Amino acid sequence: MAQIGYICSVMENYLERKNPNVAVIGAGSWATALAKLLLNNCGEIFWYIRNKRVLESIKTTGHNPLYLEDVHFDTSRLKISNDINKIVDAADVLLFCIPSAYFMSEVSQIRNLKDKFIISAIKGIIPGDNITIAEYFHRVHKIPFSRIGVISGPCHAEEVALERLSYLTLSSKYRETALRLCKLFSCSYIRTISGTDIFGVEYAAVLKNIYAVAAGVATTLGYGDNFMAVLVTNSFHEMRRFLHVAHPDSERSTTKSAYLGDLLVTCYSKFSRNRTFGTMIGKGYSVRSALLETKMVAEGYYGTKCIWELNQKFNVYMPVADAMYRILYGKENATSVMKELTSKLE
Residue range 21-46, pLDDT digits in tens: 999 999 999 999 999 999 999 999 99
223 vs 18, more confident: 223
pLDDT beyond 60 at 10: no
**Residue 132: pLDDT over 90:** yes
Out of 123, 208, 256, 305, pick the active-site residue: 208
* Residue bearing the bigger pLDDT, 293 or 73: 73
| Other Cβ atoms within 10 Å of 303 Cβ, number | 27
Q: From 2.30.30.90, 3.30.1540.10, 1.10.1040.10, 1.10.10.10, which CATH number describes the 200-342 domain? A: 1.10.1040.10
Instruction: Break the chain into its structural domains and give their ranges.
Output: 2-196, 200-342
CATH top class, domain 2-196: alpha beta
Among the listed residues 345, 148, 177, 178, the one whose alpha carbon sits nearest the alpha carbon of residue 258: 178
- Which pLDDT score is estimated for 12? 46
Grouping H, G, I as helix, E, B as strand and the rest as coil, residue 257 is helix
**What is the structure's pLDDT at 1?**
40
For 58-75, how does the pLDDT look when each residue is reduced to its tens digit (9 = 90+)? 999 999 999 999 999 999
**Window from 16-25, 82-91, 194-203, 233-242 with minimum mean pLDDT:** 16-25
The predicted pLDDT at position 18 comes to 57
How far is 23 from 88, CA to CA, in rounded Å? 7
Whether 208 is a known active-site residue: answer: yes
Contacts of 320 by beta carbon, 8 Å cutoff, 6+ apart: 210, 211, 214, 231, 234, 235, 238, 341, 345
* Arithmetic mean of pLDDT, 108-132: 94
- pLDDT of 17 reads 58
Radius of gyration over every alpha carbon of the chain, rounded to an integer in angstroms: 20
Question: Residue 81 belongs to what H/E stretch?
Answer: strand 78-81
Asked whether residue 14 carries a pLDDT value surpassing 80, the answer given is no
**Nearest-angstrom CA–CA distance, 148 and 114:** 12
Domains 2-196 and 200-342 share a fold: no
Backbone angles phi, psi at 76, to 5 degrees: -70, -15
Enter the pTM of the model: 0.93
Q: Identify the pLDDT of residue 19.
A: 64
